[in-house]
Amino acid sequence: MADKLQQEIKFLPGVGPRRAELFNKELGIYTIKDLLYYFPYKHIDRTRIYSIAELTPEMPYIQVKGKILGKEITGVHRKKRLVAVLGDGTGTMELVWFNGIRWIQEDIKEGVEYLVFGRPSVFNGKISIIHPEMEGADKKEAVITSALQPFYSVTEKLRNSFLTSKFIHKLEGIILQQYLPLVKETLPEYLIKKLNFLSLQEALWNIHYPVSAEMLRRATMRLKFEELFYIQLTLLSRKSNRERHIKGFVFSKVGDYFHHFYQHNLSFSLTEAQKRVIKEIRRDMGSGRQMNRLLQGDVGSGKTLVALMAMLIALDNGYQACLMAPTEILAQQHYRTFLRFLEGMDVYVHLLTGSSKKSERQEIEEALKSGKLQILIGTHALLEDNVEFSNLGLAIIDEQHRFGVVQRARLRNKNANPPHVLVMTATPIPRTLAMTLYGDLDVSVIDELPPGRKPVQTIHFSESRRSEMYAFLKKQIALGRQIYIVYPLIKESEKSDYKALEQGYAALQKIFPEPHYRLCMVHGKMRPAEKDRAMMAFKEGNIHIMVATTVIEVG
């Protein structure tokens, strides 16, 4: 019986093979169960009916009830549109359609009362709703949809084939009525009672057809809990399996490399947080089980120093260590930092990136195989098959969320016996969330900055003070300082009112003209070499303003 949930969706009313193929390609939905678990991304309250006199363009989705007073087709070619006038006794508004004009014109009748739903805006100086949803006010189905209406994410291709959010909602209703009894409970009964959860069947019904706002809240809670619960179970199972079957190298001593560095090369005191984390790492690496630890700390908290000291413990026990960073700039930065910290010590450190010369690569590969090269720092180049370690004992991954699961696994597999693994991030992750996302990792946090660090000053400028802000930036440049300007997007999106990088960069070039000011642009879609050139020019002080997306958070 339960196999019916695995039936293809092409057998559902109104779908068929062609539409099913669109669902497959656009949403990854193949079966009845896939569609049942395709949840709305939001619900809109349709319990209130507004009067037309109340409407403003700032409102979100609203619902009005009124009669069609007139309709006409205006404009030609691309500007052709159907405009209907709706009145409710308190005022009038326009309903506008640019697509499907012919059949919509035939469908809506003058003098008939409709429930109209949509987002109000101003079009041609009048309050309007573009492409509203409409139902006859006397229809029984209008009562059903006048509550919490779900909205499902659909693509342009689906919309063009009339596979709208509303169509998906109707399919969900058919599935719930015919197939819901086949859905088996997935959580233990005692847990459902203890947490006062809805049953899985109740939750699925109320996520698609909520009886009330409270039942929607409870359905959402149940389904979100279940998802996180099974993610956590999977991760903890993986961790338990690793601890049972994978033995870690035992780093039993802290020897000359570590002590010499601590006594002679470290010119300042470690923070208490750094000391605590180093103890946690030492305990892991000496336990006989493989270390798998997440090190979290803000920029400037001293994660790199902790990583280096962990590497020195590996060296003291006769093993090699490596550090993988997501960009060449960051790898070079780590390399220079390590050389500075290890000055005067007999430690062989090298850098391997995509731009390393062939002769240099050959030298690195040979030294690595022989065990002569003790610490290797690099980018994805470390993952290449010909990069073979003699005895890798510790692998460190910086900004680990920038690497995929497969890439991280390939680095772990560089040794016959998996090395200890330390992953680092500057992204602030609450401990409870870290336990959920990285349940197979132990978590260490450096929650203290070294003394003497200047506090970050945050100032908010409203749009009306934009010219004042630009004057402030020019003053900072005159004082010899540099500036990042960060945009969330590369190009302006129709779905977003964010300022886009390319438009913003063009505008800034007029405000900060050459040759007085030098600007550069950096974003994730640039070629790595281009990006690194721009970052290096900024680092060397040849650029006043870097206009970038959030790609600059790494390195």
> Is pLDDT at 146 greater than 50 in this prediction?
no
pLDDT band at residue 222 under the 50/70/90 scheme: very high
Residue 69: what pLDDT? 93
Per residue in 272-328, pLDDT tens?
999 999 999 999 999 888 888 889 888 788 899 999 999 999 999 999 999 999 888
Per residue in 152-169, pLDDT tens?
998 888 887 878 888 999
Mean pLDDT of 213-227: 94
> Is pLDDT at 57 greater than 90 in this prediction?
no
> Is pLDDT at 529 greater than 80 in this prediction?
no
Residue 336, sorted as left (phi over 0), alpha (psi -120 to 50) or beta, turns out to be alpha
pLDDT greater at residue 88 or residue 458:
88
Domain spans, the chain: 48-146, 189-245, 256-446, 463-553
> Is pLDDT at 404 greater than 70 in this prediction?
no
- Contacts (Cβ under 8 Å, ≥6 apart) of 259: none
Lowest mean pLDDT among 177-186, 217-226, 334-343, 381-390: 381-390
Query: Three-state SS across 40-70?
Result: CCEEEECCCCECHHHCCCCCCCEEEEEEEEE
> Is pLDDT at 375 greater than 90 in this prediction?
yes
> Is pLDDT at 145 greater than 70 in this prediction?
no
Residue 245: what pLDDT? 73
Cis peptide before 515 (omega within 30 of 0): yes
- The sign of the dihedral angle between the CA atoms of 110, 149, 42, 160 is negative
Residue 233: what pLDDT? 85
Mean pLDDT of 50-66: 89
Per residue in 93-110, pLDDT tens?
999 988 878 888 888 899
Q: Are 323 and 389 in contact (CB under 8 A)?
A: no
Mean pLDDT of 252-260: 91
pLDDT band at residue 200 under the 50/70/90 scheme: very high
Which DSSP category does 264 fall into? I
pLDDT band at residue 352 under the 50/70/90 scheme: very high
Please tell me which of 126-140, 186-200, 387-401, 535-549 the model is most confident about, judged by mean pLDDT: 186-200
Q: Look at residue 94 and give its three-state secondary structure.
A: strand
Q: Are 331 and 378 in contact (CB under 8 A)?
A: yes
The yes-or-no answer to whether 256-446 and 463-553 have a common fold is yes
Q: Does domain 256-446 have CATH number 3.20.20.105?
A: no
pLDDT band at residue 495 under the 50/70/90 scheme: very low
pLDDT band at residue 554 under the 50/70/90 scheme: low
Residue 436: what pLDDT? 57
Q: Look at residue 519 and give its three-state secondary structure.
A: strand
pLDDT greater at residue 450 or residue 311:
311
Residue 444: what pLDDT? 86
> Is pLDDT at 491 greater than 60 in this prediction?
no
Query: Three-state SS across 374-424?
Result: CEEEECHHHHCCCCCCCCEEEEEEECHHHCCHHHHHHHHCCCCCCCEEEEE
The architecture in CATH of the region 463-553 reads 3-Layer(aba) Sandwich (3.40)
Nearest to 9 by CA among 157, 178, 149: 178
Lowest mean pLDDT among 40-49, 288-297, 396-405, 511-520: 396-405
Mean pLDDT of 71-88: 88
pLDDT band at residue 492 under the 50/70/90 scheme: very low
The percent of residues in the chain predicted with pLDDT above 70, rounded, is 90
Residue 141: what pLDDT? 45
Mean pLDDT of 165-177: 92
Q: How far apart are CA 144 and CA 447, in angstroms?
A: 52
Residue 92: what pLDDT? 94
Residue 523: what pLDDT? 80
Class of domain 48-146: mainly beta
> Is pLDDT at 209 greater than 80 in this prediction?
yes
Residue 139: what pLDDT? 56
Which DSSP category does 91 fall into? -
Q: Are 87 and 95 in contact (CB under 8 A)?
A: no
> Is pLDDT at 144 greater than 50 in this prediction?
no
Q: Look at residue 295 and give its three-state secondary structure.
A: strand
